[in-house]
Each structure stands twice: as structure tokens, then as C-alpha cells.
Structure 1
Amino acid sequence: MDALTETWDRATAVQPLPEPWVVLATGAVALVLVLGSATWRRVRLGVTVVHEAGHAVVAVLVGRRLQGIRLHADTSGVTVSRGRPTGPGMVATLAAGYLAPAAVGVGAALLLASGRGVLMLWLILLLLVALLVWVRNWYGALTLVVIGAGIGLLTWYAEPEVQAVVAYLVAWLLLLAAPRPVLELLTAGKRRSRTSDPDQLARLTHLPAPVWCVLMLLANLAGLLVGALTLAPDLLARA
């Protein structure tokens, strides 16, 4: 009980907001990681985890039966659920993947703005544990275990200042990385896989795949704007 109480206290404690330069610096580092060709592959793997989590969570919410999740070394992933092959539930499930990173990024920004960065990290850890139950390949399981172990050690042993830096970096990475996979789909043209989420949505709704890509891109850019503006008033007030 003492360990549970301490864990709860750590997770729900309100931390002082970092200096404005720390928030801006983590955003700059995240932008470099997203734009860099050598670092993007690592970042994209984390984005894929959130992408597949989006499919899985929405599938459950709309009443579909979640079958399993697979994460691959090429940073791709697939989430399989069983239910009606058409209808609003299937459309929502397919659309959720590319929208999930920005949505999670906005949620992270809201928690950070209220001084609950450690809670944000704990929520991500709980999400990883939940996903681990449904992962159906060794690479995917290892990926989640490694990421989860890193976050767990960070939240338990790292100094509050280090936790804050990592929490802001994660939030910025999600917000800044969300549009890039959609842009890659949009620019791929005929080279795009016919099994991509937008192509499946096109077959279900008769709305062309490029239109779905544009809608997702606009939604992700809106998420980036909202996430950044969530922190901006505080930065301006303290600058």
C-alpha cells in the first residue's frame, strides 16, 4: 500500500512549469528530430505506436472486437479488429490512426500547461501496458517493453527537471511529427499502397484518398496549432 500511495502521489503531483527557454528548446530539438532523415525513422516508430493505439481504442469504443496489433521494423504497423466491414464505426476506426498522434499531443500539452507532466508520462506508460496485451509479434512487444521501461525508470528515478524536459519533448514530437506521415502519403501518389488508411476510407465513403489525406493533414496541423497555443500564453506572460 505504501508503494501504491507513493506512486499515486508522484503521478498526481503538480510540478512547477519550466522556464520558457526550456519549452522552446525542447520544441526546437523535436523539430530537428522530425525533419532529420537519420532521426525520423526512430521518431516514426513512436508515432506508429500511437497511430495503432488510435485504431485500437476507437475500434473498442465503436463496439468492434480487437484482434491484435503488430509493429514492424520498417516502422509500419497494423491493427486488426472484427466487426461490420462498413458503416460509421469502421470509418471512425480507420480515420483514427493518422489523427491519434496530434490528438494525444494536444492532450499532453494540456497536462503540461497545468503542471502535470509526470501524470502525462504515467498515462503513456499505462497505454503501452494496455497495448502490450494485444501485440501479436515479438518486435512489437520488444518495442513497447523498451519504451515502457524507459518511461518507468524516468518517472521513478529522474529528477523533476529531467522529467519535465522529456515530457515536453514527447509532446512536441507528437505534435510536430503528426503531419509528416500524412504528407508522405499525399506526395506518394500512385506509389501509395492501396491498403493505406485513406485508400480504405475511399472505398468505404467514395471520397477520394487524396481528399482524405488533405483532411487528415489539416486536422493534424490544427492539432499542432492548438497544442502550441496551449503553452504560448504562459510563455509570453513569463518571458
Structure 2
Amino acid sequence: MSTLAKWAPAVAALVLVASPGLWRYSRHVITIAHEAGHALVALLTGRRLEGIKLNPDTSGVTVSRGRPTGVAVVLMYFAGYVTPSLLGLGAAALVTAGQVRPLLWATAVLLAGMLVMIRNAFGVLSVLLTGAVLFVVSWYATAEWQAAFALFVTWFLLLGGVRPVGELQRSRARGRAPRSDADQLARITRVPGLVWVLLFAAVVVGALFLGGRALLPVTA
């Protein structure tokens, strides 16, 4: 793979995240990962998952039943904003190990599992389109194109996981997100919402640093 081909996925991911016009559409993928994080942790902690909605404005809602307080619900709320970055970190590990096809198929399986719990038409369409792209690349693309696409997905998750945390705090500062994950955590734990936002930021920036460091030899 040429130097240009190695760096092009990172540049393309950065453009999608940094451009306001493009981010309005590409952010839907981050929302899918965000809500998948809520859903997965809800299931792992024994809560009853009732459904997921993905909205055209890039917001999403995951509904689960269980105790309104406690470690399980704290972990569930915390998972959303950090999941895209943690998925990106895991993807970086697979890419650097040369496990490109398993990465693509694992992502497709995750989307298929999520599709079962989607409860609105736009959400179904979003997940189906994302899954279709993954299927086409993993089934029909050459090994070189699969590697480039895997790099792009990895960089997009790592970079795209950072921006929503900044957007969250700006919305909170303007009083536009009274029911955000950070504020729900503040209500449950009595720890200020800003502290939770800073914890989100520490995780996503840390994942970007570690994931980027792992990927640098691949793109060099």
C-alpha cells in the first residue's frame, strides 16, 4: 500500500469530522455506536432492553428497564459517549494485527444485533445502510481496499468520538441538554455533570492518543 493510500483514510475521516456540513450526516454513525454502547452495557448488567431509536437530528434514545439507581445504570449512561472511541481503539488493535476481515464482519454482526432492537423507521434505515456498506466492502472489495476502509473506519471512530463530547458541553452551557447523559449521571450520583463530561473527554482523548499511536506504524 502506498504512503498516500495509507494516509488517505485518516485524512478522509478528519474531513468528515471537521466539516460542519459533512459531520451533520456522518455523525449518524457515531450515534449508532453511542446507542449500541448504552444497549450493550444494559444487557451485560442485567437490565431489560426494550428498544432503541435513532433520529434524523442525530440524536438517539435507548430504553431499558431496571433499578433507577446503582452501578448498572451508571455504567449504562457512561457508556454512550465513550463507546465510539473504545470501538475505535479496539479496531486499531485489530488493524495493526492484520485482522481486517474479522473487524469488518464483527462490526456487521454488531449492527445486525442492534437492528433487532431498533424501534423506528429512520433507525432501521440508518443501520441497514451502514451494514450494507460493510457487507459490500467485506464481500466484494480487494484486500487492499478492505485495509484502506478498515483504516478509515478506525480513524473515524477515534476522531468522531471526540467531537460529540465538546458538543455536549456547549449544549449544557447553553441550557439545551438538561437530560443529557452527563446530567442523568449527576442526578444519580450527585457528582456534577461537568465532572462526568471531563471523564468522557479523558476516555475519548486517551483512546485517540493510544489508537493513533498504534496506527502510526501502519500509516508510516
With the shorter chain as reference, the TM-score category is over 0.9
Match of 1:193 in 2: 177
Matches within 5 A, 1:74-223: 74-188=57-171, 189-223=173-207
Alignment of 1:230 with 2:217, yes or no, is no
Structure 1 residue 117, shift from structure 2 partner: 1.2
The normalised TM-score by structure 1 is 0.88
> How many angstroms apart in 1 are the aligned matches of 2:159 and 2:16?
10
Structure 2: 5+ residue stretches without partners = none
Structure 1 residue 119, shift from structure 2 partner: 1.1
Structure 1 residue 162, shift from structure 2 partner: 1.3
Match of 1:6 in 2: none
Asked if structure 2 preserves the Cα contact closer than 8 Å seen for 1:186 and 1:214, the reply is: no
Q: Percent identity?
A: 45
Structure 1 residue 123, shift from structure 2 partner: 0.7
Asked if structure 2 preserves the Cα contact closer than 8 Å seen for 1:185 and 1:192, the reply is: no
Structure 1 residue 231, shift from structure 2 partner: 1.9
Asked if structure 2 preserves the Cα contact closer than 8 Å seen for 1:44 and 1:75, the reply is: yes
Structure 1 residue 234, shift from structure 2 partner: 4.8
> How many angstroms apart in 2 are the aligned matches of 1:42 and 1:135?
19
> How many angstroms apart in 2 are the aligned matches of 1:120 and 1:32?
23
Assess, with a 3 A threshold, how the Cα gap between structure 1 residues 111 and 133 changes in structure 2: closer, same or farther. same
Match of 1:48 in 2: 31
Q: Output the aligned Cα RMSD.
A: 1.2
**Matched length:** 219
> How many angstroms apart in 1 are the aligned matches of 2:126 and 2:166?
25
From 42, 67, 87, the equivalent of 1:59 is 42
The normalised TM-score by structure 2 is 0.96
Structure exhibiting the larger radius of gyration computed from Cα positions: 1
**CA-to-aligned-CA distance 1:79-101 (integer Å, 9 cap, x gap):** 00100100010000000000100
Letter in 2 for 1:196: S
- Would you identify which runs of 4 or more consecutive aligned residues in structure 1 move more than 3 Å? 18-21
Match of 1:9 in 2: none
Structure 1 residue 192, shift from structure 2 partner: 3.0
Structure 1 residue 233, shift from structure 2 partner: 3.9
